[in-house]
Amino acid sequence: WLSELKTAPKKLFVVHGESENARSFGDYVREKLGWLVTVPDYSDEVILD
């Protein structure tokens, strides 16, 4: 369903699922869609602009 978006987000944060699965999904999105993807570790904090 992500490929249906008309414009790519500036960055995609994958925050759902077990760490290994989230990282695999992030890698898949990077490879297939060329998006900037971040998979933060548990309790990481991110400042959004």
The domains of the chain are located at 2-38
Q: Residues 44-49: what's their mean pLDDT?
A: 90
Q: What is the pTM of this model?
A: 0.82
| In contact, 20 and 45? CB cutoff 8 Å | no
In sequence order, which residues have a C-beta less than 8 Å from that of residue 42 and are 6 or more positions away? 19
Q: Is the pLDDT of residue 1 over 90?
A: no
pLDDT band, residue 49 (cuts 50/70/90): confident
Is residue 32 exposed (0-12), middle (13-18) or buried (19+ Cβ within 10 Å)? exposed
